[in-house]
Structure 1
């Protein structure tokens, strides 16, 4: 007669523990296998974007739009140009870094003595402003989590969440990507103090041959208010970009200088960048 209450209590205890853990074995197994799939898919998508040329404008609310162009070809060939009022060009041709400042009529060629890791950091920081979300691959930390989600532009999506470290410690960043193509759809950030920001895809440019889409218009939001946008007026995926497209020559009448990037230099754009 004591068997039934004892068994019932055990079952209730098991149910309570399951509720507290908040997941079933099946769900945990799916999450464990989904993250490697996402990482592999992002690498495959990055390989498809081996060369491209884009042009457009970046505008913050209340300010005039700034035009820009950006050319990319793997591996590590990059060229970015800003229009007025900055009017400058940066380029890396695989061995030399070029900086052309039109307002100052200054042209500088940098040779590099940076070790590979520092060089990669320097190039990333220099060209990051030219590369919209959707053209760069999210850097996933070891503690990133992933779950399935939905989005107005994608019935099937995945949501990647991670908390940053270092100087941005505590900042939570969440990407929403279309599944299984892993096209960028949005990126939300939440600061430790609660401040939130988001960048959302509003229009896309899709390539059937590559089986992917890239943003054509991105809106930026802070605290629920729209604060800016990036609009691409030209998107050329798979563009034929020869080596000399990244090797600049000084325009006539410019002050020409030669410098060297050395390990003791800060891994930030040179003065005037």
Structure 2
């Protein structure tokens, strides 16, 4: 990468800002809360990875059903994506945690099951809400990606006697994923920015840790600044990772 004058200026300004923050602001609280911060970062990354992977796996059949499925499959898939995209994620999260979560204790067979120790916690509802949200948005992306694959390739494979499952696995799905990669990267970054909502149902992620530091020390600016740096670093890793994937598998133009 060439260092143009404006890039050098931006680097110098960023370095000066970092030095000013390190010297002028209060960071004496950091060693005490460092283990909690590390745990919060781990939980944020864990929630992001799990919900993005599960959501994408769910988005594939949702997109495929809308692109080529019969009406009995396409209509529910379209309705699911419409509801998810048309309602706020915070509302979905609260409906699952305060709505569905409050129903489970009323059934003795649920309280006596092996799942009850998990269902009484907050993180399963956070994972479920973020997974469904990611699937709803990415399902629409995959619908467009499936339809963008040239039909001639699929017809040629069918004419050669290739089974439908093989066509999907070797031709249709790989090209659809390749076409969806740029949008998938953007949706994953948005998913990261949505993870702070889990703090509203008592899941201790990095955002909740910053809030706890503010409550304990009455220091406001420094925890928020550290929070911004953490999210920017994770976002940078995501962007670089998806760019690497796009360059490793260049899109084929028919």
Coarse TM-score class (shorter-chain normalised): under 0.3
Structure with the higher strand share, 1 or 2: 1
Q: Looking at CA atoms only, which structure, 1 or 2, has the larger radius of gyration?
A: 1
Q: TM-score, normalised by structure 1?
A: 0.25
Structure with the higher helix share, 1 or 2: 2
Query: Higher relative CO (CA 8 A, sep ≥ 6), structure 1 or 2?
Result: 2
Q: TM-score, normalised by structure 2?
A: 0.27
